[in-house]
Amino acid sequence: MFIELTDHLRCTADHPEQYLVLLPNQMEGRRVVGGDLGCPVCGRVVRVDNGIADFGDAAPSDGKTSLSADALAALIGLSGPGGYVALAGGVTSLASSLAALLPGVRLVLVNPPVGTEDAETGSVIRATRLPLKSASMRGVAIGADLAPISEWITDAARAVLPGLRVIGEGGEPPATGMEVLGKAGEVWVARSVGR
Protein backbone atom coordinates (compact mmCIF):
# COMPACT_ATOMS: atom_id res chain seq x y z
CA MET A 1 0.00 0.00 0.00
CA PHE A 2 1.39 3.36 -1.03
CA ILE A 3 1.88 5.41 2.16
CA GLU A 4 0.14 8.54 0.85
CA LEU A 5 -3.05 6.50 0.34
CA THR A 6 -3.43 6.48 4.12
CA ASP A 7 -4.61 10.11 3.92
CA HIS A 8 -7.56 8.97 1.74
CA LEU A 9 -8.75 6.00 3.81
CA ARG A 10 -11.57 5.97 6.34
CA CYS A 11 -12.91 3.50 8.86
CA THR A 12 -15.82 1.49 7.45
CA ALA A 13 -17.66 1.34 10.81
CA ASP A 14 -20.94 3.23 11.08
CA HIS A 15 -19.76 6.48 12.68
CA PRO A 16 -18.79 9.95 11.42
CA GLU A 17 -15.95 9.87 8.91
CA GLN A 18 -12.54 9.96 10.51
CA TYR A 19 -8.93 9.59 9.43
CA LEU A 20 -6.99 6.42 10.21
CA VAL A 21 -3.65 6.38 12.02
CA LEU A 22 -0.91 4.33 10.36
CA LEU A 23 1.59 2.43 12.50
CA PRO A 24 3.94 0.78 9.99
CA ASN A 25 6.26 -2.00 11.04
CA GLN A 26 7.78 -2.66 7.60
CA MET A 27 8.37 -0.22 4.74
CA GLU A 28 9.94 -0.52 1.28
CA GLY A 29 10.52 3.03 0.09
CA ARG A 30 7.07 4.72 0.03
CA ARG A 31 5.27 1.36 0.26
CA VAL A 32 3.80 0.07 3.53
CA VAL A 33 4.48 -3.68 3.55
CA GLY A 34 3.24 -4.36 7.07
CA GLY A 35 1.61 -2.56 9.96
CA ASP A 36 -1.71 -1.43 11.35
CA LEU A 37 -4.27 1.25 10.57
CA GLY A 38 -6.18 2.37 13.66
CA CYS A 39 -9.43 4.30 13.97
CA PRO A 40 -9.35 6.92 16.75
CA VAL A 41 -13.18 6.90 16.99
CA CYS A 42 -14.06 3.22 17.44
CA GLY A 43 -10.63 1.71 18.10
CA ARG A 44 -10.85 -0.67 15.15
CA VAL A 45 -7.51 -1.96 13.86
CA VAL A 46 -7.00 -2.82 10.20
CA ARG A 47 -4.03 -5.07 9.44
CA VAL A 48 -1.67 -4.35 6.54
CA ASP A 49 0.11 -7.52 5.46
CA ASN A 50 2.19 -7.93 2.27
CA GLY A 51 1.11 -4.39 1.41
CA ILE A 52 -2.61 -5.26 1.49
CA ALA A 53 -4.96 -3.43 3.88
CA ASP A 54 -7.58 -5.96 5.00
CA PHE A 55 -10.74 -4.39 6.47
CA GLY A 56 -12.16 -7.93 6.87
CA ASP A 57 -14.73 -10.37 5.45
CA ALA A 58 -14.48 -9.22 1.82
CA ALA A 59 -15.10 -11.63 -1.03
CA PRO A 60 -12.55 -11.40 -3.85
CA SER A 61 -13.78 -10.50 -7.32
CA ASP A 62 -13.96 -12.99 -10.16
CA GLY A 63 -12.25 -10.36 -12.33
CA LYS A 64 -14.97 -10.34 -14.98
CA THR A 65 -15.77 -7.08 -16.72
CA SER A 66 -17.40 -6.06 -20.00
CA LEU A 67 -15.12 -3.02 -20.24
CA SER A 68 -11.68 -2.68 -21.77
CA ALA A 69 -8.95 -0.54 -20.23
CA ASP A 70 -9.24 1.89 -23.18
CA ALA A 71 -12.99 2.25 -22.63
CA LEU A 72 -12.59 2.71 -18.89
CA ALA A 73 -9.90 5.38 -19.36
CA ALA A 74 -12.19 7.25 -21.76
CA LEU A 75 -15.17 7.00 -19.42
CA ILE A 76 -13.14 8.24 -16.44
CA GLY A 77 -12.10 11.21 -18.59
CA LEU A 78 -8.98 12.34 -16.76
CA SER A 79 -6.25 14.52 -18.19
CA GLY A 80 -2.97 14.94 -16.38
CA PRO A 81 -1.19 13.11 -13.59
CA GLY A 82 -1.79 13.04 -9.87
CA GLY A 83 -4.31 11.70 -7.40
CA TYR A 84 -6.08 8.37 -7.19
CA VAL A 85 -8.66 6.38 -9.13
CA ALA A 86 -10.47 3.59 -7.28
CA LEU A 87 -11.49 0.36 -8.99
CA ALA A 88 -13.76 -2.05 -7.11
CA GLY A 89 -14.75 -5.58 -8.05
CA GLY A 90 -14.36 -7.01 -11.56
CA VAL A 91 -12.90 -3.85 -13.12
CA THR A 92 -9.78 -4.34 -10.97
CA SER A 93 -8.64 -6.89 -13.57
CA LEU A 94 -7.94 -3.91 -15.87
CA ALA A 95 -5.46 -2.30 -13.46
CA SER A 96 -2.18 -2.97 -15.28
CA SER A 97 -3.49 -1.81 -18.66
CA LEU A 98 -5.33 1.17 -17.16
CA ALA A 99 -2.22 2.30 -15.25
CA ALA A 100 -0.36 2.55 -18.56
CA LEU A 101 -3.16 4.77 -19.95
CA LEU A 102 -3.24 7.05 -16.88
CA PRO A 103 0.44 7.86 -16.22
CA GLY A 104 1.08 9.46 -12.86
CA VAL A 105 -2.34 8.47 -11.47
CA ARG A 106 -2.30 5.89 -8.66
CA LEU A 107 -4.89 3.13 -8.57
CA VAL A 108 -6.70 1.74 -5.54
CA LEU A 109 -7.88 -1.84 -6.12
CA VAL A 110 -10.72 -2.86 -3.83
CA ASN A 111 -11.48 -6.60 -3.69
CA PRO A 112 -9.48 -7.69 -6.74
CA PRO A 113 -9.28 -11.37 -7.77
CA VAL A 114 -7.41 -13.86 -5.60
CA GLY A 115 -3.66 -13.63 -6.18
CA THR A 116 -3.61 -9.91 -7.01
CA GLU A 117 -0.58 -8.47 -5.28
CA ASP A 118 -0.04 -4.96 -4.04
CA ALA A 119 2.16 -3.29 -6.65
CA GLU A 120 3.28 0.01 -8.14
CA THR A 121 0.27 -0.16 -10.48
CA GLY A 122 -2.23 -0.37 -7.62
CA SER A 123 -2.64 -0.50 -3.86
CA VAL A 124 -4.80 -3.48 -2.85
CA ILE A 125 -7.55 -3.20 -0.24
CA ARG A 126 -10.05 -5.80 0.94
CA ALA A 127 -13.28 -4.42 2.41
CA THR A 128 -17.03 -4.99 2.60
CA ARG A 129 -17.66 -1.36 1.63
CA LEU A 130 -15.57 1.38 0.00
CA PRO A 131 -13.13 2.57 2.72
CA LEU A 132 -12.38 5.92 1.07
CA LYS A 133 -12.86 9.42 2.44
CA SER A 134 -15.38 11.80 0.92
CA ALA A 135 -14.14 13.76 -2.10
CA SER A 136 -10.79 11.95 -2.19
CA MET A 137 -10.74 10.18 -5.60
CA ARG A 138 -10.34 11.51 -9.14
CA GLY A 139 -12.59 8.72 -10.36
CA VAL A 140 -14.29 5.54 -9.17
CA ALA A 141 -15.34 2.49 -11.21
CA ILE A 142 -17.54 -0.23 -9.71
CA GLY A 143 -17.58 -3.66 -11.39
CA ALA A 144 -20.66 -5.71 -12.26
CA ASP A 145 -20.21 -7.90 -9.17
CA LEU A 146 -20.58 -4.90 -6.79
CA ALA A 147 -22.58 -2.27 -8.76
CA PRO A 148 -25.99 -3.85 -7.99
CA ILE A 149 -25.29 -3.29 -4.26
CA SER A 150 -26.55 0.25 -3.60
CA GLU A 151 -24.09 0.93 -0.75
CA TRP A 152 -21.14 0.56 -3.13
CA ILE A 153 -22.64 3.11 -5.52
CA THR A 154 -23.48 5.51 -2.68
CA ASP A 155 -19.95 5.20 -1.30
CA ALA A 156 -18.47 5.74 -4.79
CA ALA A 157 -20.51 8.92 -5.27
CA ARG A 158 -19.35 10.18 -1.87
CA ALA A 159 -15.67 9.33 -2.53
CA VAL A 160 -15.30 11.07 -5.91
CA LEU A 161 -14.22 14.70 -6.12
CA PRO A 162 -16.83 17.25 -7.29
CA GLY A 163 -17.01 17.45 -11.08
CA LEU A 164 -15.40 14.04 -11.58
CA ARG A 165 -16.89 10.67 -12.54
CA VAL A 166 -18.24 7.40 -11.23
CA ILE A 167 -18.64 4.47 -13.64
CA GLY A 168 -20.90 1.53 -12.81
CA GLU A 169 -21.34 -1.81 -14.55
CA GLY A 170 -24.92 -2.26 -13.42
CA GLY A 171 -27.09 -0.97 -10.65
CA GLU A 172 -28.33 2.60 -10.77
CA PRO A 173 -26.44 5.87 -10.30
CA PRO A 174 -27.36 7.80 -7.15
CA ALA A 175 -30.48 9.94 -7.51
CA THR A 176 -28.91 12.93 -5.77
CA GLY A 177 -25.53 14.62 -6.09
CA MET A 178 -24.76 13.03 -9.47
CA GLU A 179 -25.55 13.98 -13.06
CA VAL A 180 -25.89 10.99 -15.40
CA LEU A 181 -23.74 11.65 -18.48
CA GLY A 182 -24.62 8.49 -20.36
CA LYS A 183 -25.77 4.90 -20.21
CA ALA A 184 -25.28 2.02 -22.64
CA GLY A 185 -26.51 -1.44 -21.71
CA GLU A 186 -25.59 -1.98 -18.07
CA VAL A 187 -22.75 0.57 -18.04
CA TRP A 188 -23.42 4.11 -16.85
CA VAL A 189 -21.30 7.20 -16.23
CA ALA A 190 -22.25 9.93 -13.77
CA ARG A 191 -20.52 13.16 -12.73
CA SER A 192 -20.48 14.47 -9.18
CA VAL A 193 -22.23 17.82 -8.94
CA GLY A 194 -20.81 18.49 -5.49
CA ARG A 195 -22.41 18.49 -2.08
**Residue-wise pLDDT tens digits, 153-184:** 999 999 999 999 999 999 988 888 899 999 99
Per the prediction, the chain carries an average pLDDT of: 95
Q: Is 43 exposed, middle or buried (0-12, 13-18, 19+ CB in 10 A)?
A: exposed
The CA angle 123-129-130, to the nearest 5 degrees, is 45
Domains in the chain and their CATH numbers? 3-54 (no CATH), 69-192 (3.40.50.150)
115 contact partners, CB below 8 Å, separation of at least 6: none
The CA angle 173-187-87, to the nearest 5 degrees, is 80
Q: What is the pLDDT of residues 36-95, one digit of tens each?
A: 999 999 999 999 999 999 999 899 999 999 999 999 999 999 999 999 999 999 999 999
* 70 close to 42: Cβ distance less than 8 angstroms: no
79 contact partners, CB below 8 Å, separation of at least 6: none
Confidence label for 195 from pLDDT (cuts 50, 70 and 90): low
Q: Given a cut of 80, is residue 13 above it in pLDDT?
A: yes
State the Cα–Cα distance between residues 65 and 42, nearest whole angstrom.
36
* 139 close to 165: Cβ distance less than 8 angstroms: yes
State the Cα–Cα distance between residues 144 and 89, nearest whole angstrom.
7
